[in-house]
Structure 1
Amino acid sequence: MNIKVILSTLFLGIALSGAVHAQVKTLLFEDELCSYKGFYDSKKYTERQLKDTYTLVTSYGYVGDEGTLAEMTARYTAEIDRLKKLQIANSSYFKNLQQDVLNYVQQTFALKKVQKQAKQNPQALTTAVKKGGAAYTYGIALQNGGTELLESYKTLTLQQMKNNAAPDHLWDQYTTTIARADKLEKAFAYVLVYGWWNSANREVHHIEYDGTQSEQYRKLFTKIETIDCDEP
């Protein structure tokens, strides 16, 4: 009787050991320097979750704004849809990161649409940003145009000269522009990008990529082996 109990216990232990061993799977991933093999518990995460989480970690939310409004909209829409469909590891950190990246892309998209349509709908230059802020002030100048826009252009140039390695070049560019027949059009384009957009972009919550994301990702694995690294 005792022998049967011992044997049953032994077989059970072997079976459990095999089951635990079967949970361990591997995933290959890489960063800018090395490639790795990560070992993970397949009962905690699926391969899809780990791959999608890595996509999130290495996604900085950048979407090109070149081309027409329709072309830009298509790119942003695709990126937003992609982010929403990512199957993230069941972790509060990564769930929050996914939402933060999504918010960043959506907020940036909203401002980029305003920038693209600034000529057709200049009123949005003030309604889309914080009232009283720098972007709002630039928006007013862009809406009013004329002397106010040119004065805003001059003020912006003087501010940029303070932190520029070639301030004389900026001033020469300014004086050349205001001597042109199409100075208002050129001033509008300059203030829109370097004044309004730069200021509006500062109102968007940016994610600090300081290595924390990669560090948290590595914690999803029980063990990580370095396969190969590029020479420094």
Structure 2
Amino acid sequence: MRIWISSLLLLAVISCKKEAETSKNTTSKDSVSMTETQTDSLKSAKNKQTFNFTTELCDNKGQYDASKYSREEIEDTYKLWFQYSSILLNKPSVFKPETLQEVRRDKDKILAKLDKDFAEKKKDLENLKVVNDPYWQNIKAQKIQELAMEYEFDKTEIMAFSDPSVLLNSKFSKNCENFVRALNSDEDVMIDEWRKLRVQMSKKNGSPEKIMDEFESNLHAQNKNEYAIIDLITFGWENCANNNIKRVENDEKMTKAFNSLFIKIDSQCDEP
């Protein structure tokens, strides 16, 4: 009888011990699982960073994965996409004889300023650390090439105000030969092409009479040749030759490529 009671007590002790060990192991596994979940959650929250940026009509707040892109890459890609969508170099606009005379007089200073502006903007583009994928790297390379062509174009135009013969062998003069020929011919040919240009301009203007009245007034001015040169270069050759610059098209594809860098974008927009 004593042996039977002792056996029951021993079995009870062993059973309690196993239950305690099982409970301990379960608690330990649950604790590890909860810790891993919390760590993953914290890691995920840390990887989600915010970048604020503006577009034409909107203030935007984009959330991106910091494990994929650095803030510098996001910021510089934004600059390439939006801020450098149009790159203009520092050059004078010539619409009046007074400005034409200044450009001729200060040509060397203007060209030196253009050289400096080009070098600075080229360096800015080259130093952009855009997202490291083929699309954005290619856009960056194309932008640098576009800037170089813009620089060469502007330089050619500035020199042409003093010496129109520089346009004869310019690669930008393709399909603009009529303006180049007129600028390098006698007065009669130049005036005739000038008149044709003004007629074309009047057809595209809301006040065609004003365009032709200006022409007639300038045609009888003492410095009519200067007016002719200004129009034939600024409104003739420049507008025509500008089409020969290969520009990066900031289109819907580029917009989608930029937006795809973000997990989500919240925007507040004004009415167009």
The TM-score range, normalised by the shorter chain, is: 0.7 to 0.9
User: Given residue 139 of structure 1, which amino acid in structure 2 is its aligned partner?
Assistant: V
Retained in 1: the 8 A contact 2:90–2:113? Answer: no
User: Given residue 77 of structure 2, which amino acid in structure 1 is its aligned partner?
Assistant: T
Q: 1:231 to 1:142 in 2, by over 3 A?
A: closer
**Counterparts of 1:205 and 1:140 in 2: how far apart (Å)?**
24
User: In structure 2, what is the equivalent of residue 133 of structure 1?
Assistant: 175
**Counterparts of 2:58 and 2:214 in 1: how far apart (Å)?**
45
User: Given residue 200 of structure 2, which amino acid in structure 1 is its aligned partner?
Assistant: Q
- RMSD of equivalent CA atoms: 2.8
1:1-28 deviations in Å (ceiling 9; x for gaps): 9959957973556545544443222222
User: Given residue 144 of structure 1, which amino acid in structure 2 is its aligned partner?
Assistant: S
User: Given residue 127 of structure 2, which amino acid in structure 1 is its aligned partner?
Assistant: K
**1:100 to partner: Cα distance:** 2.6
1:7-53 deviations in Å (ceiling 9; x for gaps): 79735565455444432222222223332322212121110110111
* Among candidates 108, 115, 133, match of residue 150 of structure 2: 108
**Counterparts of 2:271 and 2:234 in 1: how far apart (Å)?**
40
Retained in 1: the 8 A contact 2:194–2:231? Answer: yes
**Counterparts of 1:178 and 1:223 in 2: how far apart (Å)?**
60
When the two structures are aligned, how many residues end up with a matched partner? Answer: 230
**Counterparts of 2:31 and 2:186 in 1: how far apart (Å)?**
88
**Counterparts of 1:35 and 1:164 in 2: how far apart (Å)?**
36
**Counterparts of 1:127 and 1:209 in 2: how far apart (Å)?**
31
* Among candidates 174, 196, 210, match of residue 169 of structure 1: 210
Query: Are 1:219 and 2:260 counterparts?
Result: yes
Which has the larger share of helix?
2
TM-score between the two structures when normalised by the length of structure 2: 0.73
1:165-220 deviations in Å (ceiling 9; x for gaps): 22222222112222122111211111010111111101112333344333321110
Q: 1:116 to 1:38 in 2, by over 3 A?
A: same
* Rg larger in structure: 2
1:114-152 deviations in Å (ceiling 9; x for gaps): 111114443321222356512x33122212342221121
Retained in 2: the 8 A contact 1:26–1:40? Answer: yes
TM-score between the two structures when normalised by the length of structure 1: 0.84
* Among candidates 28, 50, 57, match of residue 74 of structure 2: 50
User: In structure 2, what is the equivalent of residue 30 of structure 1?
Assistant: 54
Tell me the SS of whatever aligns to 1:127: coil
Query: Are 1:204 and 2:245 counterparts?
Result: yes
Tell me the SS of whatever aligns to 2:184: helix
User: In structure 2, what is the equivalent of residue 77 of structure 1?
Assistant: 119
Counting aligned pairs with the same residue, the percent is 23
* Among candidates 181, 191, 204, match of residue 150 of structure 1: 191
**1:221 to partner: Cα distance:** 0.9
Tell me the SS of whatever aligns to 2:52: strand
Retained in 2: the 8 A contact 1:145–1:184? Answer: no
Tell me the SS of whatever aligns to 2:118: helix
User: Given residue 112 of structure 2, which amino acid in structure 1 is its aligned partner?
Assistant: A
Q: 1:126 to 1:9 in 2, by over 3 A?
A: farther
**Counterparts of 2:250 and 2:188 in 1: how far apart (Å)?**
42
Structure 1's unaligned 5+ residue stretches are: none
Query: Are 1:63 and 2:89 counterparts?
Result: yes
